[in-house]
Amino acid sequence: MMKKNYDTIIIGAGINGCAIAKEISQTNKSVLLIDKGSIGGGTSSKSSRLIHGGLRYLEQFNLSLVKESLHDRRYLIKNYPQLVKLVPFYIPIYKNTPRPWWIIKIGLSVYDLLSGYEAPHKNISIEEFKNIFPNINTKELCHVFKYFDGHTNDLELTKLIATQAQDSGVEILQDSKIKTLFIDDKKIILNINSNEINTNTLINASGAWIDEVNNHFSLPSNYSIAKVSGIHIVLPSLVVSEHLFLQTDAKRVFFMIPDNGKTIIGTTERVETVDIDNIKINQEEIAYLIKMSNKYLKKHISADDIAYSYIGTRSLIHAKENPTDMSREYKLDLHNIRNSKVLHIFGGKLTTFYSLSKKVVNLLK
């Protein structure tokens, strides 16, 4: 049974919506969290499953994002040890790898510094690399670095945060749509599943759907997003037994990730201009990941070796750049409208949900 009034209503039960719901309910406020699909059914179950500072973001001099991510990584490993684990990652540098070894070395040294030397990187020998990765080419291999980052199960993590939110009183409505949304002088009035519900604080955490929600209900906002999809292919067995950080000729980064007896390889980037409920993986993207993987694999793979693939869409603050260079930072966009507040969550990685949710609570105080 839904109440007629909630202190806060949140749209979107992805990792961010669930974490915000949990934090707000712990301040003794009533919270309704609504999703048009299932908990974690959006991008929060389609990621690379890394809880990471984002070594690559150092190249964009995005130090504050990396620092916050590493802070959250530490928090998540400590508080969710069953789901977030610090694991070794290996970076092989070949004669023709686009970033030379010394650039990677500088990046890893800054990464160590920003993480408080939690698990500093090392050089490892080519012999050791050959032993750990018997399926990976070592011809023209010059250097190998080993560093540490977090690995998780994104959907299970999101579901766990949702359960914790429910335990602190949040009501969650799945498979539910908002039919109408009006803001009058006193409150925000929503029609959800034919029930009229009021609130004074609405949080739009609908991820890559945020612009559609804002346009549909004519909500004011200061940002818009670029919807950038990425795919992963999943091989049915372990091609690598540890995480591999690889580079394409065009300097893009991609990962080979061992995960529950399978190997996940990704990802790609494609800017969407259509409704993302209807996006599909195209064969060129699969061919691209196969081609990039085969540059490293001794035994080549083909489309027949893929068990399944999946696609998810990032919401990146809009900028007229190459999607690879767009910032992964998030923005909290608060609008005071008469007696009510509307807060939009633009962007945000899986890794940073904890800091993001704390900031939301502070902003709404």
Ligand X SMILES: Cc1cc2nc3c(=O)[nH]c(=O)nc-3n(C[C@H](O)[C@H](O)[C@H](O)COP(=O)(O)OP(=O)(O)OC[C@H]3O[C@@H](n4cnc5c(N)ncnc54)[C@H](O)[C@@H]3O)c2cc1C
Number of H helices, E strands in the chain: 8, 18
Count the neighbouring beta carbons within 10 Å of the beta carbon of residue 187.
18
Least distance in Å: CB of 142 to ligand X? 27
Distance, in Å, from the CA atom of 9 to the CA atom of 31, rounded to the nearest integer, reads 6
Shorter beta-carbon distance to ligand X: residue 289 or 297: 289
- CA dist., res. 133 & res. 116, Å (int): 29
Q: Count of residues binding ligand X (CB under 6 A)?
A: 36
Window 50 to 69, contacts with ligand X (CB under 6 A): 50
Using rule CB under 6 A, residue 204 touches ligand X: no
Which lies closer to ligand X via its Cβ, residue 143 or residue 159?
Answer: 159
Does 88 bind ligand X (CB under 6 A)? Our answer is: no
Closer of 8 and 351 to ligand X (Cβ): 351
- Cβ-in-10-Å burial (0-12, 13-18, 19+) of 330 comes to buried
Q: Does 258 bind ligand X (CB under 6 A)?
A: no
Residue 111 in the binding site for ligand X (CB under 6 A)? no
Which CB atom, from 84 or from 108, has the smaller least distance to ligand X?
A: 84
Q: Does 162 bind ligand X (CB under 6 A)?
A: no
Beta carbons within 8 Å of 284's beta carbon, 6+ residues apart: none
Q: Residue from 207, 214, 285, 357 that binds ligand X (CB under 6 A)?
A: 207
Query: 97: which strand partners?
Result: none
- Mention every residue, 6+ apart, whose C-beta is less than 8 A from residue 103: none
Q: Which two tokens stand for residue 301?
A: 């793979």
**Pair of tokens at residue 285:** 């993207």
Q: Which of residues 288-317 bind ligand X (CB under 6 A)?
A: 312-314
Q: Are 44 and 158 in contact (CB under 8 A)?
A: yes
Which position among 37, 88, 169, 323 is part of the footprint of ligand X (CB under 6 A)?
A: 37
Q: Which of 84, 350, 360, 364 binds ligand X (CB under 6 A)?
A: 350
Stretch binding ligand X (CB under 6 A), from 44-52, 78-86, 125-133, 134-142: 44-52
If one asks whether residue 49 binds ligand X (CB under 6 A), the answer comes out as: yes
48 is an interface residue for ligand X by CB under 6 A: yes
Q: Cβ of residue 49: shortest distance to ligand X, in angstroms?
A: 6
- Show the binding pattern over residues 322-341: x = contacts ligand X (CB under 6 A), - = does not: --------------------
Torsion sign across C-alpha atoms 196, 197, 200, 204: negative
3-state secondary structure string across 115-135: CCCCCCCEECCHHHHHHHCCC
Report if residue 12 touches ligand X, rule: CB under 6 A. Answer: yes
22 is a contact residue toward ligand X (CB under 6 A): no
Q: Which two tokens stand for residue 257?
A: 């990730």
In the chain, what are the helix, strand and coil shares in percent, each to the nearest 5? 30, 30, 35
- The span from the CA of 221 to the CA of 202, in Å, is 13
Binding segment for ligand X (CB under 6 A), chosen from 40-48, 133-141, 191-199, 278-286, is: 40-48
> Can you give the binding site for ligand X, defined by CB under 6 A?
11-17, 34-37, 41-44, 46-50, 178, 205-209, 213, 230, 267, 312-314, 348-351
